[in-house]
Amino acid sequence: MDDDDEKKKKKKKQITTLDWTTVIAIQSCSLISIMSSTFIFSTGIFMVKNFDRNNVKEDEAKAALRCGLLIASKPFFSAMSSYMWGRSGDRIGFKFNILVSVIFVAAINLAFGFAETYTQAVWVRSLSGFFDGIVVLVKPSLSLISDKTNANRAFGTTGLAYGLGTSIAPAIASFLAFPCTSWKMYDTKNEGGKECPALFEKYPFVLSSSWITIVAVPAFVFALVCMKIVPPTRAAAAVENSSREDIEKANGFSISFEMVETGKLNQSIPEVEEEEEEEKEEEESESESGGENDKLVSIPLIDDDSDDFDDSAEHAVETVKLIQEKDSSSSFSEIPMTTSTTTTTDASSFPSTKTGRDRTSIWILLKDEDIYQAISLQIMVTMNVLTGTEITPIWLATSIENGGLGWKTQDIGVFGTVMGVTIMSFQLFAFVKLTDKYGIVRLVTWALFLSALVYPCHSIANSIARVSKPGAWAMVVSLGMIRGSLGPIMMGGISLIVNNAAPRESLGVVNGFAGTFSNLSRALAPLVGGSLIAVMASSPKDAFMRNWYPFLGLGFFFLVLGWYSMRLSRRLDVPRMH
């Protein structure tokens, strides 16, 4: 028992302390982006119907499609600029780009509330997406300020930010929508009721979006003062040095070099435990003996093109090899030399950055199997998870007769809050512990398989709603809590895996490229979700399994993704050190 306690204490001491002030500053900006994306979940379908005031009772199938397009416009244009934001983060710095993006998002979000037509709303939201690079910049920023001992803690805060954003944004937006009709203070039928301001009468959703702009001001100031992100080149250098030190500790001597004796095979190699002085003496004696061209040289153990470098001892230990040099013209200086005492912070001195621009080319990086599989899985998981996320409020607002639950905007806002609180609670109390115990790769696989069972169960709620609305509410909330626990593992987990797979100096490029296609998935998700609801609502009421259309397909795709995730290497549980 004493030994176990001592091991736990030792492990705890080895965990690097995060710069929590910077983490909070980063996530404060992330929260602005998340809220600007999710506030529309509870009001989107009602905005679409309100734009055509002469046809408030618009066909539900058409409204679902138009709502899907409105929601999709932001991530679609985000996809167009994601790679640009990622490259800019690598070159200029992530802090600068995050702050610039916050300014644009806050200003454009204010303008969204003043949209008078559906077309205007789509274009303004599209601009918000194009200038929102925060979602791309946050993840590499967290990677740069963390290491293998605390990366899961840094990325765990992403789920907290998402949970907080998705819990409060839809709820506040739904409360602030239609103030002239939903607020009692403007109900002229009641005694003491005030006349609703003309501004709110003309723009019933201006408060639903403008409050995010107000919150963005203190978030920007806090990030400007407190955010301290290590420049990418310095981070790469620090990680490389850290990895070398870890190897030295694991093996008892510096295995960043391979001692190679180019002489007679029966000549002994200095013991690794001997002091430097003794080794130098032996080298000198060797060079003076026999007139031979035998030289003691050291070459890098880790190849520049190695993509499978791991910080564990089993991947680092190499047997000392003997190579005989017979070419008398070769000199000691011609062989590349490195020393374990080198501590330069110039990124170009490390193998992972020696090839310059080619090394950070996304097409070169995609040849790495880990990076390719991680990015492809992130794109598909994002597509399926967000299709389920964005189909839910449309489905909840659809009438019971057409396969939905017929909820109002306030009901949907409350449901969003329940989901958000669940996500935050899971991140606070379970995410880090589970990743420490099982590893993020294994957790993602389990979450995908479990989601394949959970999503089809939503269709049962419609059957329950025909008999008991409280029963349907209980069913949906229970499913929402399960999804709120699985979501951080799938979305946050796969993001962590992508950043673990990426070289430190190419985090912006990898996240920018992944963000391009992930945002395309975000754009397609509401369109696919709206289409599925439209197909369900327009189908004959006696059609076979009519109410199962939207969620059964999602469940099957989760099953496929679970199988695909089993191909990921377990080395992606920790950040790449080379």
CATH number, domain of 162, equals 1.20.1250.20
Domain shared by 160 and 259, yes or no: no
Tell me the CB-side half-sphere exposure of residue 425, using CA atoms within 13 A.
12
Q: Are 500 and 576 in contact, with CB atoms under 8 Å apart?
A: yes
Domain shared by 331 and 368, yes or no: no
Secondary structure (3-state) at 383: helix
Residue with tokens 């998705």: 166
The overall pTM is greater than 0.75: no
Four-residue CA torsion sign, 412, 416, 403, 71? positive
Number of folded domains in the chain? Answer: 2
Does residue 531 belong to any structural domain of this protein?
Answer: yes
Does residue 242 belong to any structural domain of this protein?
Answer: no
Q: What domain range is 288 assigned to? A: 255-339
The token pair at 196 is 């609703």
Domain shared by 270 and 365, yes or no: no
Domain shared by 229 and 259, yes or no: no
Least confident span in 304-308, 358-362, 397-401, 456-460: 304-308
Domain shared by 36 and 152, yes or no: yes
Q: Enumerate the H helices of 177-227 as residue ranges.
A: 179-182, 198-202, 206-226
Q: 299 has which bridge partners?
A: 258
Angle between helices 151-176 and 493-501 (to 10 degrees): 140
Q: How confident is the model at residue 164 (pLDDT cuts 50, 70, 90)?
A: confident
pLDDT higher than 70, residue 202: yes
Does residue 486 belong to any structural domain of this protein?
Answer: yes
The distance in angstroms from the start CA to the end CA of the chain is: 37
Q: State pLDDT tens for residues 425-446.
A: 887 788 888 888 899 999 999 9
Domain shared by 110 and 230, yes or no: yes
Q: State pLDDT tens for residues 527-557.
A: 787 788 888 888 887 777 778 878 888 899 9
Does residue 250 belong to any structural domain of this protein?
Answer: no
pLDDT higher than 60, residue 371: yes
Domain shared by 164 and 268, yes or no: no
pLDDT mean over 322-336: 37
Which helix (DSSP H) or strand (DSSP E) does residue 358 occupy?
A: none
State what percent of residues in the chain have pLDDT above 70: 72
Which helix (DSSP H) or strand (DSSP E) does residue 233 occupy?
A: helix 232-251
pLDDT mean over 189-207: 81
pLDDT mean over 521-531: 78
Q: State pLDDT tens for residues 62-80.
A: 777 788 788 888 888 988 8
Q: How far apart are CA 279 and CA 324, in angstroms?
A: 19
Four-residue CA torsion sign, 56, 37, 518, 432? negative
Does residue 456 belong to any structural domain of this protein?
Answer: yes
Q: How far apart are CA 294 and CA 453, in angstroms?
A: 67
Q: List the one residue out of 339, 343, 346, 373 whose CA is nearest residue 514.
A: 373
The token pair at 437 is 């115990």
Does residue 455 belong to any structural domain of this protein?
Answer: yes
Domain shared by 535 and 427, yes or no: yes
Q: State pLDDT tens for residues 335-350.
A: 333 333 333 333 333 3
- Provide φ and ψ at 258, rounded to 5°: -120, 115
Where does a domain end: 339, 371, 395? 339
- pLDDT recorded at residue 558: 94
Q: How far apart are CA 225 and CA 235, in angstroms?
A: 21
Domain shared by 222 and 290, yes or no: no
Does residue 55 belong to any structural domain of this protein?
Answer: yes
> What does the radius of gyration of the chain's CA atoms come to, in whole angstroms?
29
Domain shared by 433 and 477, yes or no: yes
Least confident span in 285-289, 483-487, 513-517: 285-289
pLDDT higher than 70, residue 525: yes
DSSP secondary structure string for all residues of 315-329:
HH-----B-----TT
Q: How far apart are CA 176 and CA 165, in angstroms?
A: 16
pLDDT mean over 480-498: 87
Domain shared by 230 and 259, yes or no: no
Q: List the one residue out of 187, 180, 178 whose CA is nearest residue 205.
A: 178
Q: How far apart are CA 425 and CA 480, in angstroms?
A: 13
Does residue 471 belong to any structural domain of this protein?
Answer: yes
From residue 402, alpha-carbon distances to 290, 337, 506 in Å are 94, 73, 49
pLDDT mean over 550-574: 91
Least confident span in 9-13, 294-298, 497-501, 543-547: 294-298
Q: Are 262 and 294 in contact, with CB atoms under 8 Å apart?
A: yes
With helix as H, strand as E and coil as C, how does 94-126 read?
HHHHHHHHHHHHHHHHHHHCCCCCHHHHHHHHH
Tell me what the pLDDT averaged over the chain comes to.
75
Q: Looking at per-residue confidence, does 357 or 146 come out higher?
A: 146
Domain shared by 277 and 313, yes or no: yes
Q: How far apart are CA 7 and CA 269, in angstroms?
A: 36
